[in-house]
């Protein structure tokens, strides 16, 4: 039982050693995460737009026009 208490105190010590963050520091971290997500969404949106354009170009090049097929 005593060894378990010593082990528990050793494991819990690093948590107490960490300095607590201020609300503004936490807000900055949250803001950084959200900005990262926004940048990733913008990159994906750009990729989707480019792929849609490529698909449209390939369709125009390789699919016969519907009015000529009638």
Q: State the average pLDDT over residues 34-51.
A: 98
pLDDT above 80: residue 38: yes
Please state, in angstroms and rounded to a whole number, the distance separating the CA atoms of residues 58 and 64: 11
- Joined together, the tokens standing for residue 61 give 């090049």
Render the burial of 49-59: b for 16+ CB within 10 Å, e for the rest.
eeeeeeeeeee
Q: What angle do CA 14, 20, 26 make, to 5 degrees?
A: 125
The pLDDT of residue 66: 66
Asked if residue 68 has pLDDT above 60, the reply is no
Alpha-carbon span 38 to 1, nearest angstrom: 51
The mean pLDDT value of the chain amounts to: 84
| pTM confidence score | 0.56
pLDDT at residue 9 above 90?
Answer: no
């Amino acid at each position: 039982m005593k060894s378990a208490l010593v082990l528990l105190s050793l494991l819990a010590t690093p948590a107490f050693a960490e300095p607590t963050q201020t609300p503004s520091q936490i807000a900055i971290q949250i803001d950084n995460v959200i900005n990262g997500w926004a940048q990733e969404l913008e990159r994906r949106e750009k990729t989707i737009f480019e792929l849609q354009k490529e698909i449209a170009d390939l369709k125009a090049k390789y699919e016969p026009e519907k009015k000529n097929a009638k």
